[in-house]
């Protein structure tokens, strides 16, 4: 940590540790515009404001809920935009739920298809006559 003119500044390694990420993640988020480019010391070291640690934790929590980096960028922008209503943020969360529900349906269909393939195969015999591989060949070619 670096002490500046009345505000505490964090080195990139301290910020990474506080955010439970590695240094490259901090650099990546900075390049992606999720973290503001911090000022540098005379020797070229980044010095992040203390709030960057909170923002980094926010990014990680939102990511864990399935939001893409683009969606996170939008949420961060909304958070800073004066006049943004809670309804706007709520709508984004609702859209994410819809997206998750669609992914669940897709995964369930994939699981059902795989169970069907497994049911065709007793696990015995030569690989050349494997009904799973034959079915996959037929479905790809069809």
Please check the confidence at residue 5 and state whether its pLDDT lies above 70.
Answer: no
Each as own residue / partner, the long-range contacts of residues 104-108 (CB below 8 Å, 24 or more positions apart, any chain) are: none
Instruction: Please compute the mean of the pLDDT values over residues 79-103 and round it to a whole number.
Output: 95
Q: Where are the domains of the chain?
A: 1-65, 85-142
3-state secondary structure of 111: helix
Residues 61 and 5: their CA atoms lie apart, in Å, by 31
Domain 1-65 belongs in CATH node 1.10.1660.10: yes
Task: Using CB atoms within 10 Å of the CB of residue 25, give its burial: 0 to 12 exposed, 13 to 18 middle, 19+ buried.
Answer: middle
- State residue 141's pLDDT score: 46
**Average pLDDT along the chain:** 90
């Amino acid at each position: 940590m670096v002490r500046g003119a009345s505000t505490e500044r964090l080195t990139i390694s301290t910020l990474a540790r506080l955010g439970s990420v590695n240094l490259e993640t901090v650099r990546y988020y900075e390049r992606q515009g999720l973290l503001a480019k911090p000022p540098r010391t005379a020797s070229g070291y980044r010095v992040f404001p203390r709030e960057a640690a909170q923002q980094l934790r926010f990014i990680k929590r939102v990511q864990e809920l399935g939001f893409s980096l683009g969606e996170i960028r939008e949420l961060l922008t909304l958070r800073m935009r004066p006049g943004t209503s809670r309804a706007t943020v709520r709508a984004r969360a609702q859209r994410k739920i819809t997206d998750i529900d669609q992914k669940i349906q897709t995964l369930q269909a994939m699981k059902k298809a795989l169970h069907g393939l497994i049911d065709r195969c007793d696990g015995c015999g030569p690989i050349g006559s494997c009904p799973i591989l034959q079915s996959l060949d037929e479905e790809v070619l069809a």
